[in-house]
């Protein structure tokens, strides 16, 4: 499945890897700075990665928009690169947190703060591109976060 291009002549993407290098040069904690950029989006990313059991959100698979004219970061890019989602692995580690915790632990912390309404997942039909097993995995992970 292809995603829409979300950059333009005016807007570029800065990967978290690049952002982390920048922060390191100025003695900043890149994860704390990312959270400050848009805490709600950052927390929702934790929940999405757990629900999808995405084991590929490494430092080049998430990042920020940057205005090309000013170099100013304007927020997070949409989530992308989900080709390793719906893995069968248990206890996948989060790649978007400084400390080594699982996707579940990161999502549980985020859900505790956000209290996202996840009931609509139970009401949805299985997306046609997901197998029954993959969809059941999503629903089971949803139940772990929001019984």
Tell me which residue of 59, 56, 55 sits closest to 20, measured CA to CA.
59
Q: Where are the domains of the chain?
A: 11-145
| pLDDT at 101 (0 to 100) | 97
From CA 75, how far away is CA 13, in angstroms rounded? Answer: 10
Query: What is the per-residue pLDDT across 41-79, written as a single tens digit (0 to 9) for each?
Result: 999 999 999 999 999 999 999 999 999 999 999 999 999
> Collapsing DSSP states into helix, strand and coil, what is residue 80?
coil
Q: Which residue has the tokens 């995405």?
A: 54
**Which residue positions in the chain have pLDDT lower than 50?**
none
DSSP 120: H
Block residue for tokens 């959270």: 35
- Here the contacts of 108-116 (C-beta below 8 Å, separation 24 or greater) are 108/144, 108/145, 109/46, 110/43, 110/44, 110/46, 110/47, 111/47, 111/145, 111/146, 113/43, 114/40, 114/43, 114/44, 114/47, 116/44, 116/47, 116/146
Fold of 11-145: 1.10.1070
The pLDDT assigned to 3 comes to 64
Hey, what are 143's tokens? 């139940």
What is residue 122's predicted lDDT score, i.e. its pLDDT? 92
Q: What pLDDT shows up at residue 4?
A: 77
Cα separation, 141 vs 147, in Å, equals: 10
């Amino acid at each position: 499945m292809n995603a829409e291009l979300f950059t333009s002549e005016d807007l570029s993407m800065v990967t978290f890897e690049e952002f982390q290098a920048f922060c390191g040069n100025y003695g900043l904690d890149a994860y704390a700075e990312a959270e400050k950029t848009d805490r709600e989006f950052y927390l929702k990313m934790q929940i999405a990665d757990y629900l999808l059991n995405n084991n590929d959100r490494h430092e080049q698979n998430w990042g920020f928009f940057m205005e090309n004219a000013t170099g100013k970061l304007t927020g997070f890019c949409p989530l992308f690169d989900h080709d390793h989602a719906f893995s069968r692995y248990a206890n996948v580690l989060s790649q978007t947190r400084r400390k080594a915790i699982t996707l579940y632990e990161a999502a549980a912390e985020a859900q505790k703060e956000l209290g996202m309404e996840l009931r609509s997942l139970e009401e949805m039909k299985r997306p046609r591109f997901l197998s029954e097993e993959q969809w059941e995995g999503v629903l089971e992970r949803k139940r772990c976060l929001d019984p």
